[in-house]
């Protein structure tokens, strides 16, 4: 019921905001989005206090929290139902989504000054889809939400974006849509080769895990082929090298609140789906392919960080560094250890908060300076002390400063992958290589901060540069507090994540 209520309230709110006058749309959307945000925080609290030891939604359906299943349609032999529910993996992601949406809406008040009702309506519509993605437990339903995210995103970039918005929007849409198609084909090859009668994710997990006698095509087991196709499909969303080039374009063109959602939540759809499908349903194959997948992760870490080093646009810097941070998630997932997989999931939350915070900081600066180029401004600390203070804190969070969420996520991943059985003797080497990311990230963020925030103030404007408004800084402060809270007490999320990760570790190879 709870999930349905969240979906319904947000959906009704979407309609309401679309119909409201532009003047009130921003405030109204913020008020409406506060409902699912507070609702999911309440659910989080209930989960934290009452659902200790809950298992994995896909592997032990009896343990699903806030579950609801209603029959819907029948496709041939396949039953499709409205089936939603949460576990320790999706609960934090759901809370991340709703909280970040509210904050992103507030952060849009200053920069978005035309067609507000449509902008905020689309933001809420995207929230509906995202809530659905993280709570759906039926493939059909899930896929509807999964694709449903693309439509508002496409429009938000394409209408409110920068000069090359059309190119970026189409690239984003086509790239991720083609990826979805390949994933869909790979998955359905498996669905049709097993005797599934339901498209519910737990049923799929059971069927794929016990599947036998699958056909072999060109010397490869269908399981492996499907795994690769699905990995490809989800990896575009993450994104990993070399499937990442849509991301910087989308980020640079997207308005800041949309970048916040894109980096903070949309990328996690990719890793969430990888965890649910590739690493839970096809865990055996994932273990076999661990080393090549880990290499992809490590290359993403270093490659993304090196590219961030070459950028001059603050948004591009953060965009490329997202590729780097998400590479850690891949490394953690393939480790198949409590700290590895749990850390990867934790890192999704941590990176969602920190990258959202970083983009918001860049946005607040851009609202004032109307430039994001590192060379165009300097000494902003003189004029916007609190914004810059939070910027510096956020940047150190991104660099993995202890007692902030990013360090916890990265440390867990390193700890989990350093002696991961799936990676064998390559484990310490690959982990150590990935760790070098923490040096490069310090390089480009410190460099960018030195050039833009410090030194003598200079910026070519014909107006006074003054501190940002309260409603611009408040979302930053909220996010920073969350980042610190999770860094000091990671068990706020990590404990429930572990509850739902440990069943995944027990299946398959059993290491």
Partner 1 sequence: MAAFTYAPAIVLLPFVSFLVALFAGDRMPKGGALAGITATGGSLLLSIWVALTVAGGDVHNEILYQWTTSVETLQLNFGLLLDPLSALMLLIVCLISFLVHIFSLGYMNDEGETGLPRYYAGLGLFTASMLGFVVANNLLMAFMFFELVGLCSYLLIGFWFRDDGPPSAAKKAFLVTRFGDYFFLIGVVGIFATFGTGLFAPITQGGEVVAESFPMLAEHAIVDGETAGIAMLETVGMGPQQWFTVLGLLVLGGVVGKSAQFPLHTWLPDAMEGPTPVSALIHAATMVAAGVYLVARMYGFYALSPTALAVIALIGGFTALFAATMGLVKQEIKQVLAYSTISQYGYMMLALGSGGYIAAVFHLTTHAVFKALLFLGAGSVIIAMHHNENMWDMGGLKDRMPVTYWTFLAGSLALAGIVPFAGFWSKDEVLYEALIHGFGTEGGLGTAYLIAYAMGLLAVFFTGFYTFRMVYLTFHGDARSDTARDPEPVRWNVKGPLTVLGILATTIGFINMAPVAKLTGAEIDFLHKWLNGPENGGWPAALNTGLHHYEGLLHDVSHVVKGYPLGETPTLLASAGVSLGLALAGVLVARTLYAGADPVEHTDKLGGLKTLLMHNYYQDEYQVWLATGVTYPLARVMNKFDQGVVDGVVNGISSVSLFGGSRIRRIQSGVVSNYATLLTLGLVLLLAAFGIMGGWF
Residues that bind partner 1 (CB under 8 A): 171, 174-175, 241-242, 244-246, 303, 306-307, 309-311, 338-339, 342, 379, 381-382, 392, 396, 399, 401-403, 407, 411-412, 414-415, 418-419, 424-425, 427-428, 431-432, 435-436, 438-439, 442-443, 446-447, 449-450, 453-457, 489-491, 494-495, 497-499
Minimum CB separation from partner 1 for residue 390, in Å? 12
Minimum CB separation from partner 1 for residue 408, in Å? 8
- Please report how many Cα atoms fall inside a 13 Å half-sphere around the Cα of residue 488, on the Cβ side: 6
User: Does residue 168 contact residue 245 with C-beta atoms inside 8 Å?
Assistant: no
Minimum CB separation from partner 1 for residue 243, in Å? 9
Residue 201 or 497: the one with the smaller Cβ distance to partner 1 is 497
Residue 145 or 339: the one with the smaller Cβ distance to partner 1 is 339
Q: At a CB cut-off of 8 Å and minimum separation 6, what does 29 contact?
A: 13, 17, 105, 120, 121, 123, 124
d(CA 176, CA 182): 10
Residue 13 or 397: the one with the smaller Cβ distance to partner 1 is 397
What is the distance of C-alpha 212 from the center of its chain?
34
DSSP code at position 374: G
Residue with tokens 């405030």: 27
DSSP string over 49-86:
HH-TT---TTT-GGG-EEEEEEEEEEETTEEEEEEEEE
Minimum CB separation from partner 1 for residue 303, in Å? 7
d(CA 355, CA 321): 9
Q: Is 510 left (phi over 0), alpha (psi -120 to 50) or beta?
A: left
Minimum CB separation from partner 1 for residue 181, in Å? 14
Residue 124 or 331: the one with the smaller Cβ distance to partner 1 is 331
Minimum CB separation from partner 1 for residue 496, in Å? 8
Q: Any alpha helices (H) in 113-241, and if so which ranges? A: 116-135, 139-148, 150-160, 165-193, 201-210, 222-237
User: Would you state the structure tokens that stand for residue 451, as one six-digit string?
Assistant: 């050039």
Minimum CB separation from partner 1 for residue 406, in Å? 12
Burial of 290 (0-12, 13-18, 19+ CB in 10 A): buried
Residue 102 or 369: the one with the smaller Cβ distance to partner 1 is 369
Residue 194 or 419: the one with the smaller Cβ distance to partner 1 is 419
Minimum CB separation from partner 1 for residue 502, in Å? 9
Residue 241 or 272: the one with the smaller Cβ distance to partner 1 is 241
d(CA 434, CA 245): 21
User: Would you state the structure tokens that stand for residue 199, as one six-digit string?
Assistant: 């498209």
Residue 278 or 500: the one with the smaller Cβ distance to partner 1 is 500
Residue 71 or 402: the one with the smaller Cβ distance to partner 1 is 402
Minimum CB separation from partner 1 for residue 245, in Å? 4
Report which of 96, 128, 113, 168 is spatially closest to residue 353, judged by C-alpha positions.
Answer: 96
């Amino acid at each position: 019921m709870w999930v349905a209520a969240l979906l319904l309230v947000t959906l009704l709110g979407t309609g309401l905001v679309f119909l409201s006058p532009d003047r009130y749309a921003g405030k109204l959307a913020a008020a409406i989005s506060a409902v699912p945000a507070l609702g999911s925080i309440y659910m989080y609290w209930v989960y934290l206090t009452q659902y200790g030891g809950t298992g994995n939604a896909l592997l032990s359906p009896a343990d699903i929290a806030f579950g609801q299943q209603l029959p819907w349609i029948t496709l041939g032999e396949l039953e499709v139902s409205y089936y939603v529910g949460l576990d320790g993996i999706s609960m934090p992601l759901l809370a991340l989504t709703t909280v970040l949406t509210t904050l992103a809406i507030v952060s849009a008040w200053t920069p978005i000054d035309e067609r507000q009702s449509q902008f905020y309506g689309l933001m809420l519509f995207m929230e509906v889809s995202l809530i659905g993605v993280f709570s759906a437990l039926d493939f059909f339903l899930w896929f509807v939400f999964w694709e449903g995210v693309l439509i508002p995103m496409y429009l938000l970039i394409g209408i409110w974006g920068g000069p090359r918005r059309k190119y970026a929007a189409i690239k984003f849409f086509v790239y991720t849509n083609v990826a979805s198609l390949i994933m869909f084909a790979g998955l359905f090859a498996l669905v049709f080769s097993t005797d599934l009668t339901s498209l519910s994710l737990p049923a799929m997990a059971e069927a794929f895990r016990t599947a036998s006698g699958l056909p072999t095509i060109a010397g490869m087991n269908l399981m492996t082929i499907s795994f690769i196709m699905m990995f490809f499909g989800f990896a575009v969303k993450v994104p990993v090298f070399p499937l990442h080039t849509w991301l910087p374009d989308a980020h640079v063109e997207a308005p800041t609140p949309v970048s916040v959602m894109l980096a903070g939540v949309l990328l996690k759809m990719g890793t969430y789906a990888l965890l649910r499908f590739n690493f839970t349903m096809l865990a055996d194959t994932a273990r076999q392919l661990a080393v090549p997948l880990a290499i992809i992760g490590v290359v993403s870490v270093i490659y993304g960080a090196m590219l961030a080093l070459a950028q001059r646009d603050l948004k591009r810097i953060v965009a490329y560094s997202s590729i780097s941070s998400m590479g850690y998630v891949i490394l953690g997932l393939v480790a198949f250890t409590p700290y590895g997989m749990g850390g990867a999931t934790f890192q999704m939350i941590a990176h969602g908060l920190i990258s959202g915070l970083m983009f918001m900081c860049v946005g607040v600066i851009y609202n004032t300076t109307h430039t994001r180029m590192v060379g165009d401004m300097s000494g902003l600390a003189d004029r916007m002390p609190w914004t810059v203070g939070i910027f510096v804190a956020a940047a150190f969070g991104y660099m993995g400063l202890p007692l902030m969420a990013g360090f916890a996520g990265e440390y867990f991943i390193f700890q989990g992958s350093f002696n991961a059985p799936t990676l064998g003797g390559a484990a310490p080497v690959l982990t150590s290589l990935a760790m070098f990311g923490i040096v490069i990230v310090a390089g480009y963020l410190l460099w960018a901060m030195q050039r833009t925030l410090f030194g003598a103030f200079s910026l070519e404007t014909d107006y006074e540069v003054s501190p940002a408004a309260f409603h611009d800084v408040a979302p930053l402060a909220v996010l920073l507090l969350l980042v610190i809270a999770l860094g000091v007490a990671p068990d706020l999320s990590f404990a429930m994540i572990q509850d739902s990760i440990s069943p995944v570790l027990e299946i398959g190879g059993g290491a």
